[in-house]
Amino acid sequence: MISAQELEKIRVPKFSISTSLIINAAKEKGLQFEPLPERAFRISDTKTSYYFKGTSFPCNGMVSSALSCNKYFLRKMLKRHSVPVPKTIRLRYASQWQRAITGSLHFPLVVKPTSASHAHGSSMNIINEDELRRAVRRAFDYMKKNKAGTRVLVEEYFAGEDLRFFVIGDQVVSVLQREPAYIIGDGINKVRKLIANFNQEWQSPIKYDLPLCPIPIDTETARRLRRQGKTLNSVPKKGEKVTLRWNANISTGGRAIDVTDIVHPNLKKLAIQIAHIAKLEITGVDILCKDITSEDTSSKNVCVLETNDSPGIDIHHFPFIGKGENISGMILDYIFKKDTVLAETDSTVQL
């Protein structure tokens, strides 16, 4: 695992680590880089140039990118193609929370805003009515505060390994297994202090930027600890592992393990199929899986959550465990070999 100090040497001023990796890869390939306003930039070869912003790529269509961010829409589309997705309902108001348990859903449940990312406003593994009511209110409060949509999803909880498949065209180039945030006890310090120690190292001037991110202390942290009979003031035994979240997002302190060579080829084929359904040429596909070495892609083994039109690439370069993959170089190779197609889009400028 690369250190936070080493990562800062990679960073291009004013850009995130993921963006810096693309810029550095462009320079290594002899491509021209030009910074633009609003943290956008342009990469050019001798024939064509493309606009980039963060990890939003010029080969992904604007409409497809926008629609893929809507979890409910995407699941409807995937279901049409018999892809396993969680049983889900939408709520328009917080007062409708009881609809989730008077309908076809069963505990445990998950509550999340329709279009939010980084697990914002989300609550997982909800086991009773009181937790459900609080979770729905939390999701709506987040959306109102951040003007992030108007609907909340309630879905059945699926217990499995959290996998991120990075798809470029017709190929899965990297697969990460994401483990929820945790700390290891030393027999001396409280949970709160152990979290602070971890967070002190993994801070960044740009939010959600590093392949390890600070662990938030919020209602989800407290609820996860409570389920283990602990609080922030508990002192874990030396060597004791204490899990702090149910969600495994890297943005909330999750840790990535490279399992590219371990997952079954059928799971990779499923991820590619999902990318094609979403009409995204470069995307991160999130799938929960009970057995990552099994050929089974039915609802018994997998549950597809979402696609990401602007996936982070730093975690694939620098996983917590594993060799990592040169994702940024692969992305540029793919884009600059598709001049004929991309030259017809609004994101292309002929030189």
> Domains, the chain, ranges and CATH?
4-61+328-350 (3.30.310), 87-157 (3.30.1490.20), 184-248 (no CATH)
Which alpha helices (DSSP H) does 119-230 contain, by range?
129-146, 191-201, 219-227
> For 326-333, what is the mean pLDDT?
96
Question: Shortest CA distance to 286 belongs to which of 276, 298, 295, 274?
Answer: 274
Residue 347 has pLDDT above 50, yes or no: no
pLDDT in tens, 193-236: 999 999 988 876 666 677 788 999 999 999 999 999 999 999 99
Residue percentage of the chain with pLDDT more than 90: 78
Under a CB-based contact definition with an 8 Å cutoff, are residues 250 and 211 in contact? yes
How many C-beta atoms lie closer than 10 Å to residue 62's C-beta?
A: 12
Question: What was the pLDDT predicted at 104?
Answer: 84
Stretch 70-99: mean pLDDT = 94
- Separation between Cα atoms, residue 305 and residue 314, nearest integer Å: 21
Determine the pLDDT at residue 98: 92
Ramachandran region, residue 350 (left: φ > 0; alpha: ψ -120 to 50; beta: rest): beta
- Cα–Cα distance for residue pair 258/172, rounded to 1 Å: 13
Q: Across residues 290-310, what is the average pLDDT?
A: 97
Mean pLDDT of the chain: 91
Predicted pLDDT at 78: 97
Calculate mean pLDDT across residues 159-173: 97
Assign 24 to helix, strand or coil: helix
SS3 content of the chain, % helix, strand, coil (to 5): 35, 25, 45
Confidence at 291, pLDDT banded by 50, 70, 90: very high
Say whether pLDDT at 345 is over 70: no
Higher pLDDT, 347 or 139: 139
Q: Does the pLDDT of residue 350 top 60, yes or no?
A: no
Residues 37-57 pLDDT 10s: 999 999 999 999 999 999 999
Burial class (CB in 10 A: 0-12, 13-18, 19+), 47: exposed
What are 234-248's pLDDT values in tens digits?
999 999 999 999 999
For tokens 């917080």, name the residue: 94
Q: What's the pTM value of the predicted model, to 2 decimals?
A: 0.91
pLDDT in the model for residue 208? 64
Q: What is the pLDDT of residues 261-271, one digit of tens each?
A: 999 999 999 99
342 — pLDDT class (breaks 50, 70, 90): very low
- What is the pLDDT, as a whole number, of residue 136? 96
- Report helix, strand or coil for 170: coil
pLDDT of amino acid 292:
98
Residue scoring higher pLDDT (5 or 233): 233
Give residue 57's pLDDT: 94
